[in-house]
Amino acid sequence: MAEEPFDADEISEPSPVKAGSIVLRERFIVNGDKPLPNLDSPNAKAYLAEDRHDLSRNLFALVCTPGIPLRTSTIKKLQVTPGPGNLELVESESVFWPIIGQRTMVIIYERPMGGRVIDRIKAGQVRITEYDIPRKVIQPIVDGLRHIRSLNTAHRALRPDNLFFLDEDMQEIVLGDCVTAPEGFDQPLMYEPLERALANPAGRGKGSTIDDMYALGASLVVLTLGNNPIERMKGEDLLFRRTNLGSYAAVCGNARIPLSLLEPLRGLLSDSPNERWGLDEISNWLNGLKQTPQQKKPARKGDTPLRFGGRDHTNVRTLAHAFNRQIPEAVKALKDETFHAWLKRSANEGDLSDTLKGYVDTANFHKENHQGSDEYLIARCCAAMDPYGPIRYKGVSVYLDGFGPMLAMEIIRNGNVQVLTEIINREIYQFWVSDRALLLDSIEISQQFAQMKAWLSSNEVGQGLERCLYELNPGLTCQSPHIIEEGIVFIDDLLPALDRAANHADSHAKPVDRHVAAFIAARFNEDTQPHLRALAAAKESTSVIGMLSLLAFLQWKLKTAPVFGLASWVGGLLGPAINAYHSRTTRRELEKEIPKLVRRGSLPDMFDLIDNAEKRREDQDGYADAVEEYAICAEEILSIEGSGNELQEKAEKTGQKTAATISIITTMIAVTIMFFSEIL
């Protein structure tokens, strides 16, 4: 995109809809030629937007990156229920975005006129003192988080560069966008709680307000100091430091934190989710109520370090993280008495040592199956060594509530999906569920993953990996090659998208492929199982009828406008379904009728024509009668033809009998005549 950055303040009159611009809901104009890079999100570009009904409104649009799963349920909630402390989400729609040449989700927000808070601070345009922090920064953010919590969700994108001044006077701070990427996906490691920071970005999980509170603490450090004290520390180093020192010590380091903020920062940056300050604690602090001071609690450390993977480890949490990266070495270490001696004597984890030894013995017992594999053993050991950490398997670290986005990102990026499916199929998630029963509804998680395992085990359309993908990612666009560029998130948009795709799709390919079927199964709140079962049938005619019935059901239930292109596409594939009728006359009639229905764009009518129950029954009955009649004819033919000499003999005998009969009758007549002529 080569647009020049545009100064939003230059707007004085509403511009007409130009090339490169689009209109949402026939009301909001998004100007593609007026980008607002200062309002960009990591996964969405910002453009100037206008409300045709109210030209005085200051709006901007975020054009989402196609393929990134969106938080659709949060979009709906924020749109329906705007609240304090958040940018008002005005409208959203999946539309064709000419600049990238494909459809994508566009979200209209209220434009924060004061810009990014951190930019203004760094530019020296505003100064926030330690005395301003509680009322000017914390209070509006807490209000925003409280509102988001009331919507049963979490922000999970709270960081200094996602805080904005709503007004030009830079007095009111609001939380920025949180819906254009999965929860925590865009967060730098510093702003994620330690346990979630240890997971891959896409797998950090939905989380809760308690995770937002940590992000608030980390953001406060940056906003208070005006810069990030650990800006240069990245990745593994930062995680290692946070694990060893504790997040508070790692983030604040030697920075000069105002005394008045020490208490809330210690509370907010606590690495224990149970001890971390929540909204009530911070509100109490804002209201001047004294909180129980939290002591600086570094992680449990061993007396002497254990060298593994090029680092000296003093606690098992960092070791678990390292074990997952270097599995063969980790297995060697597990079987080495030196490691267990270190666990018992230095790390004071005697029970853990016994547990790990037990796991090694179990693995040895199951040498023949996956439970004896090194990867399985290490995953199990990591879960025991870091019970609050993410599930770790074959180098992947993922929270189960972040499994969906992780799966989506791996599929979209053609990554290692195999590992994720193994986590489900080999029930590796069970370690996690059982160890964290206090934190999560383990029964619900177990049920969800058991259901996913069932889907994965099925290779039928509408099941499999694709079903898991769409069930776990309500905001993911349909990945079918037919409509991937359409950016379809909602089921209502599917048929119109397939209708448009009919213009360029291979007419021999079915419109309902594995992705479309799974998308429908996951997003359509009706019982589609009978249709999917028919669609998955090995018999081509049944499969085609299943496809038609599914699409017709969709059009009927969603009251979709006529789909002429799709009807034509489907009509061209109905050969096997038509041929399922035995009667050639019926076939010819159907072939004659289909073009008429195509011109009506009605899939339900087409389905009624093709799969009319009465017509089917008549055809079946007629066919059965025809088979019977054919068999009777064949038998009679066989009896006539198969007789051979027998027929000849039969004819001769009949002739002989006839001759005898004629002879006798002639004699009787002649005798009678002669007798009576003699006596009379």
Partner 1 sequence: MNMRMIIWSVLIFALLLIVALPTVMLIAFGMLPAIVAVIIDRTEERSAAFCVGGLNFCGLFTYLMDLWFGDHDLGQAMHILTDVFALAVMYGGACMGWMLYLSLPPVISSFIQVMSERRLQQLRATQRKILDEWGDEVIHDADLGGNGAAPPQAQAGQKMPAAA
Q: What dihedral angle (degrees, nearest 10) is formed by the CA atoms of 295, 299, 303, 306?
A: -170
Q: Decide if residue 443 touches partner 1 (CB under 8 A).
A: no
Among 280, 507, 634, 646, binds partner 1 (CB under 8 A): 634
Among 351, 526, 629, 646, binds partner 1 (CB under 8 A): 629
Determine the Cα–Cα distance for residues 313 and 552; give it in Å rounded to an integer. 61
Q: What is the DSSP string of 241-271?
A: HHHHH-HHHHHHTT----HHHHHHHHHHT-S
Residue 598, C-beta contacts closer than 8 angstroms, at least 6 positions apart: 564, 567, 568, 571, 606
Among 80, 438, 640, 680, binds partner 1 (CB under 8 A): 640
Q: Which of 613/679 has CB closer to partner 1?
A: 679
Least CB distance to partner 1 at residue 179 (A): 53
Using the contact rule CB under 8 A, the part of the chain among 87-95, 189-197, 547-555, 661-669 near partner 1 is: 661-669
Q: Decide if residue 664 touches partner 1 (CB under 8 A).
A: yes
Among 631, 644, 646, 680, binds partner 1 (CB under 8 A): 631
Q: Which of 69, 59, 71, 44 is nearest to 8 (CA)?
A: 59
Q: Decide if residue 656 touches partner 1 (CB under 8 A).
A: yes
3-state secondary structure string across 3-54: CCCCCHHHCCCCCCCCCCCEEECCCEEEEEEEECHHHCECCEEEEEEEECCC
Q: Which of 151, 148, 167, 166 is nearest to 215 (CA)?
A: 148
Determine the Cα–Cα distance for residues 252 and 444; give it in Å rounded to an integer. 38
Q: Which of 438/679 has CB closer to partner 1?
A: 679
Sheet holding 163-165, edge to edge: 115-116, 163-165, 173-175
Q: Decide if residue 617 touches partner 1 (CB under 8 A).
A: no
Q: Which of 515, 519, 545 is nearest to 533 (CA)?
A: 545
Among 1, 123, 443, 627, binds partner 1 (CB under 8 A): 627
Q: Decide if residue 539 touches partner 1 (CB under 8 A).
A: no
Least CB distance to partner 1 at residue 586 (A): 9
Question: Sign of the C-alpha dihedral, residues 52, 54, 59, 61?
Answer: negative
Q: Which of 81/658 has CB closer to partner 1?
A: 658
Determine the Cα–Cα distance for residues 395 and 266; give it in Å rounded to an integer. 32
Q: Decide if residue 635 touches partner 1 (CB under 8 A).
A: yes
Among 358, 481, 621, 623, binds partner 1 (CB under 8 A): 623
Least CB distance to partner 1 at residue 616 (A): 15
Burial 105-131 (b: 16+ CB within 10 A, else e): bbbbbbbbbbbbbbbbbeeeebebeee
Among 37, 169, 633, 646, binds partner 1 (CB under 8 A): 633
540 to 579: interface string for partner 1, x by CB under 8 A = ---------------------------------------x
Helix (H, G, I), strand (E, B) or coil at 224: helix
Determine the Cα–Cα distance for residues 674 and 90; give it in Å rounded to an integer. 125
Among 19, 307, 641, 644, binds partner 1 (CB under 8 A): 641
Q: Decide if residue 646 touches partner 1 (CB under 8 A).
A: no
Determine the Cα–Cα distance for residues 523 and 474; give it in Å rounded to an integer. 7
Q: Decide if residue 19 touches partner 1 (CB under 8 A).
A: no
Least CB distance to partner 1 at residue 611 (A): 17
Q: Which of 141/590 has CB closer to partner 1?
A: 590
Q: Decide if residue 626 touches partner 1 (CB under 8 A).
A: yes
Binding site residues, partner 1, CB under 8 A: 579-580, 582-585, 622-623, 626-627, 629-631, 633-638, 640-642, 647-648, 650-660, 662-664, 666-667, 670-671, 674-675, 678-679
